[in-house]
Amino acid sequence: MQVSDVGLDSPLLDAVYDELLAPTFPAYELMTLAEVRAGMEAGFLWISAVIRDGRPEGAAVAEWSSHSGVLLLSYMAVRKDLRSSGVGGTLMAEIHTGWQERVHPLLTLAEIEHPAGHTPDPAYGDPTARLRFYARHGTRALDVPYFQPSLRTGAPRVPGVILGVLTTAPELAGAEAVPSEPVRIFMTEYFQGCEGGVPEDPAATALFAAMPPGGIALLPLDDPAALPCTANV
């Protein structure tokens, strides 16, 4: 399997959105196609996809925060009939290699559903199986009570989400904690872009309070019960 960039002018962009992303994520968790295009045009968002016979089989969407040095895997989607066929692993290999060479991030993060907060769904997949997938690829969790911010006016926040660390810059390899400041800057930008500013409600306050000056601990994914799971956001 080979991975290719899906550019702003690619005829495959609509197919990636309509055939992969839209069926895999609830609308309130997903950027609109117009937002995806705007991010690509601005240069901070790109899409890598596995293409076969002119059709996308899986795709990963990246959002780059140059100010914080944090790269976010915003979405990864594989065709329902091709799950567990190696497409996801191919995309993850690209994230660990090509994406790192592209922007040299300090941290590469992902939003992962916590099995305690989400149930298996025929369309959206199995959170437990997804967590095992990320664990096999070396992902660890930040010890923070994370939730996905509201992406747009009227959209709910998404509770029960793990903020996973897919990989780090070489200077942090093997570390048991990561610096708080890049995560704090990244989250500040995230809330400013989505909710218009950093909120002061209890859930957001607890999230930022879990980023002390001494760093944020990294937790293994093999015991979901030990991972923070925010219910009220």
Categorize the per-residue pLDDT at 83 as very low, low, confident or very high, splitting at 50, 70 and 90. confident
Q: What's the pTM?
A: 0.95
pLDDT of residue 98: 97
Q: Does 63 have pLDDT greater than 80?
A: yes
| Multiple choice CATH, 1-105, 3.30.70.270, 3.40.50.300, 3.40.630.30, 3.30.505.10 | 3.40.630.30
Token output for 205: 């306050």
The secondary structure element, H or E, covering residue 133 is helix 127-136
Q: Check pLDDT > 90 for residue 112.
A: yes
Q: Can you give the pLDDT at residue 233?
A: 87
- Residues 153, 10: Cα–Cα separation, whole Å: 29
In this prediction, residues 75-98 reach a mean pLDDT of 91
Domain boundaries defined on the chain: 1-105, 111-233
- Tokens 């066929």 belong to 85
Radius of gyration, CA atoms only, the chain: 17
Q: Decide: 72 and 165 in contact? Cβ < 8 Å.
A: no
- Kindly tell me if the per-residue pLDDT of 120 is higher than 90: no
Average pLDDT over residues 23-49: 97
The confidence score (pLDDT) of residue 175 equals 94
Mean pLDDT computed over every residue of the chain:
95
Residue 82 has pLDDT above 90, yes or no: no
Which two structure tokens, joined as six digits, stand for 60? 């990963």
